[in-house]
Amino acid sequence: MENTAGQLQINNVTKRFGAHAAIDQVTLEIPQGKFVTLLGPSGCGKTTLLRMIAGFYEPDTGTISLDGSRIDQLPPHQRSTAMVFQDYALFPHMTVRDNVAYGLRLAKVAKPDIQRRVNQTLDFLGLGSLGDRWPNQLSGGQQQRVALARALIVEPKVLLLDEPLSNLDANFRERMRWELRSLQQRLNITFLYVTHDQNEALAMSDWVAVMNAGHVEQWGTPRQIYHAPNGAFVATFIGTANLREATILRREREHVFVSLAENMISIPTLEASSTNESVLLCIRPEVIAISRIRRDEANVNLAGHVTRLAFLGHLTRYWVEVAGEEWIVDQPDPGSAEIAYEGDVILSFEPQHVHIISSP
Ligand SMILES: Nc1ncnc2c1ncn2[C@@H]1O[C@H](COP(=O)(O)OP(=O)(O)OP(=O)(O)O)[C@@H](O)[C@H]1O
Ligand SMILES: [Mg+2]
């Protein structure tokens, strides 16, 4: 089943439904053998893009290539891609074995070969004992594996997965994340995975394309899109962010000075930014410490007032008003602090944890 090809090139692809562009001039280079995720809110075009790659929709403009050859004109079964659908779409009138054999029968593979490869694939995915069952005799997780087996048996170069875990309970979903990730590494084929769940995207992916309204907003590693979002959309879609408008007052060597909540702060950055430029400052809730007292002068210190809080088990989230604006602050390990903060507090964070977003 091992395969080392699978570099996918999506070049300036647009797909309209009526006047609405579900995918609008998208260009993406999906590297071979990586776990790549399309992440974005409902309706942003994820399924539409996947279906164009699989061959179920035709792009209006643009090209799709695999290992340097165009595939966008080929029928689905000649593309070396396979797709796992969100609802699994197993054939209800076929046993597990026949479901898995389907793609090989379509390709007119010889009967003994089909039998051998079906057995191999069922064993590979831990389904060996379930071959004679019907889909309605399987749990959701088992159905999901059968759907995977049916896709993998054709030995695709690229496996396309459309929110395959969304029907599973939270604990099982977390285990399956890990299983899919290690499956991808064992097979060394390209996985293109669709989700609107940011945690899933961060936990599983080598690369993430954050999508919004038919566009790719940002391409990056999980750490890049979390720590260095390129705009307000990515900053707020991936996790929670305190975003503050600010103006660059001046630059001094490797620092810029900005004014924030009536304080002048100095932020270490090498990124180019010009005096008087309007920027957004992105400060994640977990880099902010909250206290009643104070103040480490090496840090940014902001005086505020707790307006509400929520105990979330592994942390306590505070909403704090600072100079008329609301800040969100996460405090870890609330179990060790018997008393929650209320009233007047000091928020404190290190300047290097402020990420500057240019040209908001
Ligand atoms: N066959 C279709 N005919 C008309 N409009 C469509 C069709 N398929 C999708 N759309 C529209 O295109 C846009 C993108 O849909 P798509 O299914 O790709 O979104 P998605 O990102 O997969 O969303 P979700 O996370 O909810 O699955 C939506 O506005 C949707 O209504
Ligand atoms: Mg979808």
Separation of CA 43 and ligand 1 centre (Å): 5
- Can you tell me the distance from the alpha carbon of 346 to that of 352, in angstroms, rounded to the nearest whole number? 18
pLDDT grade for 4, boundaries at 50, 70 and 90: low
CA–CA dist 98, 115 (Å, integer):
10
Q: Whose CA is nearest to atom 8 of ligand 1?
A: 48
More confident residue, 55 or 2: 55
User: CA 56, CA 199: separation in Å to the nearest integer?
Assistant: 29
Domain at 8-236: CATH code? 3.40.50.300
Greatest Cα pair distance, the chain, in angstroms, is 77
pLDDT of 273 > 80? The answer is no
Contacts of 179 (CB under 8 A, 6+ apart): none
- Rg of the chain over Cα atoms, rounded to whole angstroms, equals 25
DSSP state of 298: T
Ligand 1 centroid from CA 138, angstroms = 29
Question: pLDDT digits over 137-177, tens only?
Answer: 998 888 988 999 999 998 899 999 999 887 777 887 888 88
For residue 44, give the ligand nearest its CA. 1
Encode pLDDT of 82-131 as tens digits. Answer: 999 888 889 999 999 999 999 999 889 999 999 999 999 998 888 999 99
Can you give the pLDDT at residue 317?
A: 95
* Residues with a CB atom less than 6 Å from ligand 1: 17, 22, 40, 42-48, 196
Residues 83-113: b if buried by 16+ CB within 10 A, e if exposed: bbbeebebeeeebbbbbbbbbbeeeebeeee
Residue nearest to ligand 1 atom 11, measured at CA: 22
- The SS3 call for residue 154 is coil
pTM: 0.89
Task: Tell me the DSSP string of 217-279.
Answer: EEEE-HHHHHHS-SSHHHHHHSS--EEEEEEEEEEETTEEEEEETTEEEEEE--S---TT-EE
Sequence-ordered strand ranges (E) for 31-170: 35-39, 61-66, 69-70, 81-84, 158-162
Place of tokens 């500057």: 356
Query: How far apart are alpha carbons 175 and 141 in whole angstroms?
Result: 11
Domain ranges of the chain: 8-236, 240-358
What residues are paired with 348 via a beta bridge?
289, 301
The ligand that comes nearest to the alpha carbon of residue 42 is: 1
The residue type at 62: G
Q: Whose CA is nearest to atom 3 of ligand 1?
A: 17
Cα 36 to middle of ligand 1, angstroms = 20
- Residue 31 CA to ligand 2 centre (angstroms): 22
302 pLDDT more than 80? yes
What is the topology classification, in CATH, of domain 240-358? OB fold (Dihydrolipoamide Acetyltransferase, E2P) (2.40.50)
Residue 53 near residue 158 (C-beta atoms within 8 A): yes
